[in-house]
Chain A
Amino acid sequence: MTTAASASPTAQVTVTDTRISDEIRVVGMVWERELIRYVRTRTRIVSGLVQPVLFLFVLGYGMSGLVGTTGGFNFREFVYPGVVAMSVVMTAMFSAMSIVWDREFGFLREMLVAPVSRTSLVLGKTAGGATVAAAQGTIMLVLAPLVGIHLTPLLVAEVISLELLMAVAMTTFGVFVASRIQKMESFQVVMQMLLMPMLFLSGALFPLNGLPGWLTVITRLNPLTYAVAPLRQVVFSAQNMSAAARARFPTKVTLFGYTLPMGLELAIVVVFALVFFVLAFRGLSRTE
C-alpha cells in the first residue's frame, strides 16, 4: 500500500497555535453567556433575594429583641453586611454550580471539546459568576436605608469591590466543587452541607468572638470569614457608631491572638481564590 495519505493537510491553512486575542474572546464569550442566563432567569434573581431578605428582616427583628440596642446600634445594622455577603456568596455558588447543569444537559461538553484552553473557560466562568454575584449583592444595597445603614458613594464603591473579590473566590470554589459532582441530585446536598455551614461560620450572621475553641478553629479555616470581615469593616466605618457599639459588635478577625489588618484579610481571600482556581482548573481537566 503506497501512501499519499498522511501527507496531505488539505487546502485551507489555519493558524492552529493558541492566540492570546482568541483566548480573551473566549473568556468574554463565556462571561457574556453567564450574564445572558442571569438576566433571562428572573426567578433566580428574585429567589436570590428572598433568602437574604428573610434573614435580614426576620432574623434581624427576631434577634434585635434579644440582643438589644447598644449606643443606638442594633442587630439589624450588624447583620446587614453579613446578609449582603450571603446574597453574593449564594449567587456566586449557584452560578458556578450551573456547571453541573451544563454537564447534565451536555453543554459542558461543547465547551470542553473546543480548541481553547481550560484556563480561558474557568476564567470566563469565574468572571461571569463574579459579575452576576456582585450585581445581586449590589441590588441588596437598596435595602440599606430600611435598616438604618447610611450609604455614601465611596462606601458603595468599596462594597462593590469587596463583593467582586468575594464573588471571585466563591465562584472558583463553586466551579471546583461542581467539577467533582457528576449528578444533579448531589447539588442540593452539597449546597446544604457546604454553603450553609460556611455562611453560618463566617461571621456573617453573628460575631465570631467568644466562641468555643473548636468552633473558633473552624471559623478561621473558613475562607468566607476573611471576606465578610472587611465588608463589615467598610460598612461600619461609614456609620456614625458610638464606641460602645463598636465594642459590642466587633468586626476584626483575630488569628493566634493577632488582629488581622484588612489588607491581610483581603490577601488571604486572594490566596484562597488562587488555590480554588487551580483546583477548579484541575477538576475540569479531569472531566473528559
Chain B
Amino acid sequence: MVTNIAMDRPDLRLRDTGPVAVDVRGLTKRYGAMAAVKDVHFSVGQGEVFAFLGPNGAGKSTTIKMLCTLAHPTSGQATVAGFDVVSRAKAVRRHIGLVFQEQTLDDQLTAEENLRFHAVLYGVPHAQIDPRIARVLDLVALTDRRKDLVSTYSGGMARRLEIARGMLHTPKVLFLDEPTVGLDPQTRALMWEDVMRLRDEEGVTIFLTTHYMDEAEYADRIAIIDYGSIIALDTPDALKASVGADTVDLETADDETALAALKRDGYTVKRSEDGLTVFVADEEAAVGPIVTAVGVPVRTVRAHRPTLDDVFLHFTGREIREQHGEALPMFARAHGARRS
C-alpha cells in the first residue's frame, strides 16, 4: 500500500540527495520560558509522505505553524519549497496547501464557490481556474456534489473538499494538521486514498501530523516528536525493527525440553513468565518451523510483530493513547487545546 519512493538512506535526518521540499535546521520556538519546539532538524524530499507523530502538545502543531509561516521561529531556520519561512513568507504560502485541524470552509457557499474563492486568493491564473477546480474535485470524487452548499456535506466530505482546496493552486507541499480527527474509520481510509492519489498523480509532498499510530503507517517516513524534540525518525518498518525483532510466544507441555530443542536449532530463546519467547526475523514465516522444532506438544502460539505503539512506548516510555482523550487530566487537555 505504501510505495516507498527510491531515495537515499531514510534513517538520515538530513537528506543529501534529490529535490528537497522541506528543510529544517535547529528550529526552536519558545513561548516565554517554555520551549514548544527544541532544536529540531530534518528534511523532507519532494514527493515524500512525511508524518509527525506525537501526543497533543508535543510540538507538532507549533512546528507546522512555523513551516506555514503562521508562527515565527525563536531561532533556527527552515525552508519550504526552497523559500525561507521568515524572509520569504509570502512565497512559502503560495507554494503550500494547508488543511487545518478545524474546518475552514464557508458552508453557505457551494463546493465550487469555495474553490473559486481559494483560487483567486492564491492567484491561480483566470484561464486555469475552471479546469483546476474540475481536476481537484475529480481527485476527491466530489464532482457530482460541486453545486451543493457545503452545509449539506458530511464531515468526511468537507474534509476531502478541504484537501482538494489545499491542492487547487498546485502547491509543492501539502500540510495536513491532524487531518482525520473526528472522522470514522471508513472515511479516514477514503481520505487516505485521496491523499495517496494526490501524491502519485500530482507529485506533491505530504507533510502531516497525527497522533494515530495506524495513520502514521501510511507515511514513507515518520518523525516521533515528544516534548518539542524529535526522538526518532525513520521509515515505519525501520522504526519497528529498531524496537526489536518479531517474537513468537509459546506455551508447551514441557518448556525445558522445548527450550533445549530450540537452542540446539540455533534459535534465540528466552524463558518468559508463562512459556518461551523466541526472537525471529519474520514472525509469520517462523511459526511453522518453531512448532516443528520444539518436539513436544505445543499448547499456544502467539506471534507478535512490533507496532508503532511499541515504537512510541520504546522511545518515550509511555503509550501514546494515554496522552490524549479521556485519560488526560482536565488542565492538561485545556492546555493542549490552546497550544494546538
Q: How far is the CA of A102 from the CA of B114 in the complex (A)?
A: 13
Q: Which residues of B contact A246 (CB under 8 A)?
A: none
**Chain B contact residue count (CB 8 A cutoff):** 43
Please tell me which one of the listed residues A12, A106, A288 contacts residue B104 in the complex, with CB atoms under 8 A apart: A106
Complex interface: stretch among B82-90, B137-145, B246-254, B264-272: B82-90
Please tell me which one of the listed residues A2, A9, A11 contacts residue B83 in the complex, with CB atoms under 8 A apart: A9
Q: Which residues of A contact B122 (CB under 8 A)?
A: 114-115
Q: Which residues of A contact B17 (CB under 8 A)?
A: 4
Q: How far is the CA of A3 from the CA of B100 in the complex (A)?
A: 31
Q: Which residues of B contact A22 (CB under 8 A)?
A: 123
User: What mask results when residues 81 to 124 of chain B are scored 1 for a CB within 8 Å of chain A, else 0?
Assistant: 11100001011011100101011111111000100111011110
Q: Which residues of chain A from 84 to 122 have a CB within 8 Å of any chain B CB?
A: 102, 105-107, 109-111, 113-116
Please tell me which one of the listed residues A10, A107, A111 contacts residue B81 in the complex, with CB atoms under 8 A apart: A10
Q: Which residues of B contact A36 (CB under 8 A)?
A: 108-109, 113
Say what secondary structure dominates the interface of chain A: loop
Q: How far is the CA of A32 from the CA of B107 in the complex (A)?
A: 15
Q: How far is the CA of A5 from the CA of B46 in the complex (A)?
A: 11
Whether B229 is near chain A, meaning CB under 8 Å from some CB there, is no
Whether B79 is near chain A, meaning CB under 8 Å from some CB there, is yes
Decide: B120 and A26 in contact? CB cutoff 8 A.
Answer: yes
Q: How far is the CA of A106 from the CA of B106 in the complex (A)?
A: 8
Q: Which residues of B contact A18 (CB under 8 A)?
A: 90
CB distance from A122 to the nearest CB of B (A): 14
Whether A6 is near chain B, meaning CB under 8 Å from some CB there, is yes
Q: How far is the CA of A4 from the CA of B20 in the complex (A)?
A: 8
Please tell me which one of the listed residues B93, B94, B103, B120 contacts residue A106 in the complex, with CB atoms under 8 A apart: B103
Say what secondary structure dominates the interface of chain B: loop
Please tell me which one of the listed residues A5, A29, A105, A106 contacts residue B23 in the complex, with CB atoms under 8 A apart: A5
CB distance from A206 to the nearest CB of B (A): 38
Decide: B91 and A16 in contact? CB cutoff 8 A.
Answer: yes
Chain A contact residues (Cβ within 8 angstroms of B): what range?
Answer: 35 or more
Whether B76 is near chain A, meaning CB under 8 Å from some CB there, is no
Whether A1 is near chain B, meaning CB under 8 Å from some CB there, is yes
Please tell me which one of the listed residues B14, B82, B88, B121 contacts residue A111 in the complex, with CB atoms under 8 A apart: B121
Q: How far is the CA of A41 from the CA of B107 in the complex (A)?
A: 12
Q: How far is the CA of A4 from the CA of B10 in the complex (A)?
A: 16
Q: Which residues of B contact A16 (CB under 8 A)?
A: 83, 88, 90-91, 94
Q: Which residues of B contact A113 (CB under 8 A)?
A: 68, 70, 93, 98
Whether B180 is near chain A, meaning CB under 8 Å from some CB there, is no
Please tell me which one of the listed residues B14, B43, B95, B106 contacts residue A33 in the complex, with CB atoms under 8 A apart: B106
Whether A37 is near chain B, meaning CB under 8 Å from some CB there, is yes
Q: How far is the CA of A46 from the CA of B79 in the complex (A)?
A: 51
Contact A3 to B90, CB < 8 A, known contacts A10-B46, A33-B109, A41-B108: no
A residues near B (Cβ < 8 Å) are: 1-12, 14, 16, 18-19, 22, 25-26, 28-29, 33, 36-37, 40-41, 102, 105-107, 109-111, 113-116, 288
